[in-house]
Amino acid sequence: MNQSLITAYASILEQNQAATFEHNDIIYRIWANDEGWYLELLEENDSGEWVEIDGGLCTGSAIDAIEFMLPQEAA
């Protein structure tokens, strides 16, 4: 994911306090909470259902939250 796309998603995240995007067949949901940004990563299973595969809390900036669980080569 290129830096301009990361910046665009971070802008959406700051404005709406939430953002959802897809990268490499994984859905990333990010929203603000009292402690920072909560992330939820979802992947489609064999039954066609979206299941949580990872998640976490990022206490940094909106850009940090976008990059938090992206694969290193994508950030």
Predicted pLDDT of residue 73:
63
Which whole number is the average pLDDT over 50-75?
A: 89
Q: What is the pTM of this model?
A: 0.86
Q: Could you read off the pLDDT of 17-52 as tens digits, one per residue?
A: 999 999 999 999 999 999 999 999 999 999 999 999
Measured CA to CA, the distance from residue 41 to residue 4 in angstroms comes to 21
**What would the two tokens of residue 71 be?**
């694969």
Whether the CB-CB separation of 43 and 25 falls below 8 Å is answered with yes
- Residue reference for tokens 């910046």: 7
Mean pLDDT of the chain: 93
**pLDDT score of 74 more than 80:** no
